[in-house]
Structure 1
């Protein structure tokens, strides 16, 4: 893990307990799911977020626009 500090290391008198194996795996699973979600959303909306496309480009809708005109 980061830092390589053993269980006998203290930080200005503070002696933290090492995390349990469950918490280590839980942290890895939550971190991985966060990155998968970020990459998924980047694939879906990345061009819009970066300003390469406008939000309304490529949106075809369902034929019911605000002005009642349907498809143009």
Structure 2
């Protein structure tokens, strides 16, 4: 988390991250990131990961920035 606060909801727990904190989510684990206010984050993941799981649809966007 670069700025703000991010909550990540898993099926069995909720993790809250604040500025300067991070977590690693294993491949295949369902999760839902939620921010009550503006939150700036950096996501590091392999190229080709679909951001809506296997659902696709109008919520899926192209991966735009790769470092």
- Give the TM-score taking structure 1 as reference length: 0.21
Q: By percentage of residues, which structure has more helix?
A: 1
- Give the TM-score taking structure 2 as reference length: 0.22
Q: By percentage of residues, which structure has more strand?
A: 2
Q: 1 or 2 for the larger relative contact order (CA 8 Å, sep ≥6)? A: 2
